[in-house]
Structure 1
């Protein structure tokens, strides 16, 4: 069953058009990667999905309902959560207090403080530390946990690996299977192509706001991705 669908989505920032007629869908239980260079429109699409920058043209549908121009708080209550680029934690609050911000208006579901700590066991050890005291990888775990505590059906992850050591990124990505086992679909914005392919069922490549490639992650070739990512230099 299709959980999220974008049809002909155009997003603008003022007079500047950022995406052009984007079609995209996510099935229940699926992980979908969005790849592309900086400025390709990946984060813009996430903002359109969550209602932060609504599409000017086209439609965004979630669980069969048109959410194209709904307020972001209403979209969140429907079951869409985002882990933003840069994590955006409350630096003066403890880890546990940051997590509870996600639970403040949570939907019913399986995610609790204990289940988040089971997903990221190391977090138990620093649960009473202020967010400002944590490493970048620890902060990213908290940001993911905070989003999960809203009990989403769809988790939007924006550049989770940015600025983190490969080992830490691997630890975070290894948790995706456990997240999906609890019925959460995932959209992953990622510039690390190898990691995006290994963590997703399907991928979309964006170039200058347009979809240039869609396919099963294990079926598209690196050559196809290169042409879609940079444009066909043979022309």
Structure 2
């Protein structure tokens, strides 16, 4: 199972939110590229990037910060937030992004997801952010009546390389992930599932790894910044 350190970008800085609330942002690093290099130095195999402003704006806002990260490290990175048309997808992949995460458009324009997955095999992931099992869009500002599992299943045969599943109520709260819901989703689809939201300890990672679903990985942010989770130790444990 892969551990994805998260770098959430707001106003050009690396921050963490509490349950997706933009007014509850803690700045952890004024230099996101330096933060990325810290994670790389500790041995991470992937980076998880989120353009928080972009998620609300519907277009890239923190592009300069992302480009700086891509320029400084060869470690593969995945990015979500404000990517809602083919041109933006093409631009990011041409700049060296390994994986594009499509969230809001997965609900509003699923045909774009299918078109992109066909055009860029192995590079298109779907971000499913759920509040009480229902998908939220537009930076989590709007909750739909779409069931998270139904949405994941709708892309089953379309070449999507991963589902990033976030339980919004757990995100940034340091209260542990929703293992039960993640396991259920992981067993409901053949697409690799990455868990996100609430991963705050080695025990949380072990619980996800041993949950009974073949999860691809887990994303952790605040716990790494706060020191509750040691990245080197976690990476070694997951490999072991």
> TM-score, length-normalised on structure 2?
0.40
Point out the structure with max Rg over C-alpha.
1
**1 or 2 for the larger relative contact order (CA 8 Å, sep ≥6)?**
1
> TM-score, length-normalised on structure 1?
0.40
